[in-house]
A and B are shown apart, each in its own frame.
Chain A
Amino acid sequence: NAGVTQTPKFQVLKTGQSMTLQCAQDMNHNSMYWYRQDPGMGLRLIYYSASEGTTDKGEVPNGYNVSRLNKREFSLRLESAAPSQTSVYFCASSDGGEAFFGQGTRLTVV
C-alpha cells in the first residue's frame, strides 16, 4: 500500500517554463488536495478536489491549474512558472478523516 505518491521530488525550472506535478493515491479517497509550504507560513491550499470530476480553488490558486483525471490522480500544472512559485508542494488525500500526504516536491524557479 503506497499511500500518496508524488512526483517529481525535486525540480528546477526557468521562469516561463511549464510543468506538471503528479499525484496518485491508492486508498480510494474522494478528497485530494494540493498545498504549498513556504518558510514561516503554514501549508496553504492551492486547489482541492472533493470528488472525481470536481475541483475548487483554495487560498492561493493564481498561476496554477489542476486536473482530477480519475479518482486516483490529481495533477497540478504551472503554465508559466514564476520565481514566486518557488516552494515545497504537497499533495494530500483524505477519506473525511485522517489526511495522508505525499513526500513533497521541492520546486525552484530561477
Chain B
Amino acid sequence: KNEVEQSPQNLTAQEGEFITINCSYSVGISALHWLQQHPGGGIVSLFMLSSGKKKHGRLIATINIQEKHSSLHITASHPRDSAVYICAVKNTGNQFYFGTGTSLTVIP
C-alpha cells in the first residue's frame, strides 16, 4: 500500500519544454513537500505547502487538499533540472511518507 503515488515514473523532455509531475496521496496531511535529488547527491527541499500555490523561479508547486493531489511544474526546462523529484507528505504525527520519485531528464 503506497500512501503517496507519483506520475510519471520517468520523464524525458527537450530543453525549454514545460514539465508537470503529479502526486496523489491517501492519508491526512499537515503539509506536502517536493524534494529534489541529483544523481549521487543528497536530497534538498524545494517546497513545503499546505494549500494553494508556491513559486520559486521556474518552479511552481500547487496543491488541492480536497482532491489530495499536488503538481510540480517546471517552466522553460533546462538540462540542469535533470534530477529525481520526490513528493512527500507529512502527517499530523510528524511522520513523512515518500513517493518513489520521478526521474527527469532534460535533453539540450
- Are B101 and A42 closer than 8 Å at their CB atoms? yes
Contacts of A94 in B (CB 8 A): 90, 94, 96
Interface of B is mostly: strand
Which listed segment binds A: B12-20, B42-50, B64-72?
B42-50
Cross-chain pairs A/B with CB under 8 angstroms, 29 sampled? A31-B94, A41-B100, A42-B2, A42-B4, A42-B86, A42-B97, A42-B98, A42-B99, A42-B100, A42-B101, A43-B96, A45-B95, A48-B95, A50-B94, A92-B96, A94-B90, A94-B94, A94-B96, A97-B31, A97-B48, A98-B33, A99-B45, A99-B90, A100-B45, A101-B42, A102-B42, A103-B42, A104-B42, A104-B43
Interface centre among A92, A96, A99, A104 (most CB of B within 10 A): A99
Chain A residues in the interface with B (C-beta under 8 A): 31, 33, 35, 40-45, 48, 50, 90, 92, 94, 96-104
Question: Are A98 and B96 also in contact (CB < 8 A) when A42-B101, A90-B43, A103-B41 are?
Answer: no
- Are A43 and B86 closer than 8 Å at their CB atoms? yes
- Binary interface profile of B, 1-25, with partner A (CB < 8 Å = 1, else 0)? 0101000000000000000000000
Flag whether B88 is at the interface (Cβ < 8 A).
Answer: yes
Contacts of B100 in A (CB 8 A): 40-42
Contacts of A50 in B (CB 8 A): 94
A100 to B48, CA, bound (A): 12
